[in-house]
Structure 1
Amino acid sequence: MMGAAEGTPARISVCIATYRRPDLLGALLGDLAVQTRLPEQIVIVDNDAAASAAAVVNDWRARLPRIDLSYEVQPEQNISLTRNRTVALADGDLLAFIDDDERAPPHWLAELEAALLRFNADGALAPVLPVLPAHAPEWIRRGGFYDRYQMPTGSVVPPNELRIGNAILVADRLRWLDPVFNPDYGLTGGEDGDMLLRLVNGGARLIWCEAAAVSEPVPEARLRLGWILKRAMRGGQDFARHFRVGRFGGRPSTARSVMFFARAASQMVTAAGLAILTLPVGRHRAAYWLGRACANFGKLSVLLGWHYREYAQPPAVTARIDGTAACR
């Protein structure tokens, strides 16, 4: 069913796209080294033309003699091309995806594989739990802006919650897609939702695995209202882009499109008003409604052909394990 010969264990490749986070990547490789279910292969593709991950990969290659550790540089700045290269290099029956700034407990890979088998699914997605630093503003804690989706194991993942940051997929399913990750999303983000929606629309069954949660430190740069609002706007743009190309039940008619964008305009105005009205109650409430306004603005901005390119001009810093940043 999963590409492995009958009666033999599936071969698992862990796919990691990385960019200027050598310390965090090293910590993740340390987690993968002590998994109760070791992967047969780890594929790392570096989107930094300077190959900033090379040293840490070479260090861990010597420590992981039982695991095939593959590393390549993909110099063009594009997250889709980078992810596609990980898939091209992976030779597993199952492909596990995890981000370079996440931490995986020892049972992570075993739980993902077990859920896939138990529910006879084509893929399993799992939670990414944010870890806020001790000094995070109270309004951010109260607002839950970094809380991630959770639900019972075995549940079918709804279309608007499809993410690749913590997942395992049957490799044969990905081979149906061309491209796997669309390069048009390479600087804006949203490539993971687009890919998973195409899988689902092609008949794939993706389920949830609550027990395979990983953690992710929230860096200092994201503890700001501006970042939260920009991410909300990008989420709205992603949703509208998927809607317009028919990822949610077929390409929409003109009437359905008019209703979609009219509703976005109405909700944007309403949310902006609620942001003003709720500010005396608490900054976290006003920020929530501002986020909703920005998300709907993001939907409307797609009509103008404008896309926020979140990954086009990243800061020239290297993330560290403690969530701070070191100047390069």
Structure 2
Amino acid sequence: MSESVAVTVALACHSEERLPGIRAAIDSVQRQSHRPAGIVVAVDHNAALGAVLRAEFPSVVVVGNDGPNRGASATRNVAAARARTPLIAFLDDDEVAAPTWLAGLVAPFEDAYVVGTGGRYRPVWNHRRPFWFPDEFGWVVGAHYKGMPTTTARVRNVWAGSMAVRADVFRAVGGFRTGFGKVGDVSRPEDTDLCIRMAAERQGHWVYVPRAIVDHEVPAYRASLRFFAGRCYAEGVGKIEMRAALRDLPDALGDEQTYVTRTVPLGLARNVATGRLDRAAAMALGIACAAAGAASASWAARRTGAPRPRITAGSGSA
């Protein structure tokens, strides 16, 4: 199946400032060992950028997200709507896929119970990695982190920028939940939300494929301690909001509990034992900020008394 199955690659973008990255991402898809059946680029409310991409990439389908919903989730849904293949893969505009990326993502679909797959994020720091940055917190900048599987493995969720899905299951749940993901400076775990809903829809599972690699750009501003703390805080907020929305579905925060009770303590002990107190301190700060975000979101929900919308397996918006 992996050699013959058709897959469309969907890419979302929004700004001319990212043109070099968009070009590199598209070029990397065109060089895949597993040739995609098509490439669809969706542009978020930016007709000028869409015109540039149509002129530069005549073989690529370029569509506009001109609807009421902005952001990565809505724009990915617009791209996915144009796919006519059984599989859809997603790549972000600040990533470059390795030549075997798509082949790696497609291979696990030989198992009928696999609803989606995801690959490994390899960070490309525009500024050198900070000396204090802990290995267990790669997720803060969109990179693999210590504690993730090192071989192909079943997982609860993967990340949206390097993901392949069964198109029928993706559409059955309504795609990415709009208004919940990345819109402006707000970041919520739209990919985890999607993964949980898709798995519940078909009683299936997700597979992480570390050999399916993307190089993910890490801008210089993300190398600051301020960004680190803010991103950890946002993660705490987002996961509590996700749990409230998915309260009818199982295991919403099981991976986070394992991370906090196993991965983080092991990392703290290792860094203290090796004299890396800077990294141990950063880990403690990150957990404290995430906990503060979670507490803030929980308090806000109780204070307003307004029930969160209940999200079932088929409650997306594609």
Give the TM-score, by structure 1 length.
Answer: 0.73
Q: Give the residue type in structure 1 aligned to 2:78.
A: R
* Number of corresponding residues: 272
User: Do the aligned partners of residues 170 and 297 (structure 1) sit closer, same or farther apart at CA in structure 2, a change above 3 Å counting?
Assistant: same
Amino acid at match of 1:18: C
Decide which of 165, 169, 181 is 1:169's aligned counterpart: 165
Residue 13 (structure 2) aligns with: 18
- The answer (yes or no) to whether the contact 2:50–2:64 under 8 Å persists in 1 is no
How far residue 172 of structure 1 moved from its aligned partner, in angstroms, is 0.9
2:33 to 36, 50, 56: 36
**For residue 311 of structure 2, what is the aligned residue in structure 1?**
none
Q: Confirm whether residue 213 of structure 1 aligns to residue 205 of structure 2.
A: no
Instruction: Give distance in 1, aligned partners of 2:200 and 2:192.
Output: 12
Cα RMSD for the two superposed structures? 3.2
Alpha-carbon distance in 2 for matches of 1:283, 1:50: 46
> What SS does the aligned partner of 2:240 have?
helix
Tell me if structure 2 keeps the 8 A contact 1:119–1:154: no
Check whether the contact 1:12–1:40 (CA below 8 A) recurs between aligned residues. yes
What does residue 198 of structure 1 align with? Answer: 197
Look up the match of 1:258: none
| Distance change in 2, residues 1:144/1:91 (3 Å) | same
Q: Equivalent residues in 2 for 1:1-328 (5 A)?
A: 9-20=4-15, 21-61=18-58, 64=59, 68-74=60-66, 76-117=69-110, 121-133=114-126, 135-140=128-133, 145=138, 146=141, 147-149=143-145, 150-158=148-156, 161-178=157-174, 180-186=175-181, 187=183, 188=186, 189-202=188-201, 203-246=203-246, 249-250=249-250, 282-305=277-300
Query: 1: CA distance between counterparts of 2:281 and 2:216?
Result: 26
Report the CA distance between 1:209 and its aligned residue: 1.1
Q: CA offset at residue 120 of structure 1?
A: 5.6
Give yes or no for contact 1:98–1:164 (8 Å, CA) kept in 2: yes
Q: Are the equivalent residues in 2 in contact too, given 1:236–1:295 (CA < 8 A)? A: yes
Q: 1:190 to 1:162 in 2, by over 3 A?
A: same
Cα separation, partners in 2 of 1:133 and 1:171, compared to 1, 3 Å: same
Provide the C-alpha distance between the structure 1 equivalents of 2:295 and 2:194, rounded to a whole number of angstroms: 23
Task: Give the C-alpha shift of residue 295 in structure 1.
Answer: 0.5
The structure-2 alpha-carbon separation of the partners of 1:197 and 1:13, relative to structure 1 and needing over 3 Å to count, comes to same
1:134–1:181 CA distance, 2 compared to 1 (3 A):
closer
Q: Following the alignment from structure 1 to structure 2, what is the Cα–Cα distance between the partners of residues 77 and 122?
A: 26
Partner SS for 2:122:
strand
Counterpart CA distance in 2 for 1:100 and 1:74 is 19
Separation (CA, whole Å) in 2 of partners of 1:19 and 1:105: 23
8 Å CA contact 1:74, 1:81 repeated in 2: no
Contact 1:13 1:40 in 2 (8 A): yes
Q: Go from structure 1 to structure 2 and tell me whether the alpha carbon gap of 1:282 and 1:94 turns closer, same or farther (over 3 Å shift).
A: same
Deviation at 1:286, TM superposition (A): 1.7
Say if 1:152 and 1:210, in contact at 8 Å, map to a contact too: yes
> Does the 8 Å contact 2:125/2:220 carry over to 1?
no
Q: Which has the larger radius of gyration?
A: 1
Structure 1 runs of 4+ off > 6 angstroms?
Answer: none
CA deviation after TM superposition for structure 1 residue 248, in Å: 8.2
Q: Secondary structure at the match of 1:91?
A: coil
- Consecutive unaligned residues of structure 2, counting only runs of 5 or more, are 302-318
Post-superposition offset of 1:31: 0.9
Q: Taking structure 1 as reference, are residues 248 and 97 closer, same or farther at Cα in structure 2, changes over 3 Å only?
A: farther
More strand as a share of residues: 2
State the alpha-carbon separation in 2 of the partners of residues 205 and 232 from structure 1.
27
Contact 1:14 1:97 in 2 (8 A): yes
Confirm or deny: 8 A CA contact 2:114 2:207 kept in the other structure. yes
**Is this contact kept in 1: 2:44–2:70, CA < 8 A?**
yes
Task: Summarize deviations over 1:234-289 as a string: whole Å, max 9, x none.
Answer: 1112221222233585499xxxxxxxxxx9xxx9xxx9xx9xxx8x9643322221
Residue 12 of structure 1 and its aligned partner are, at CA, apart by 1.1
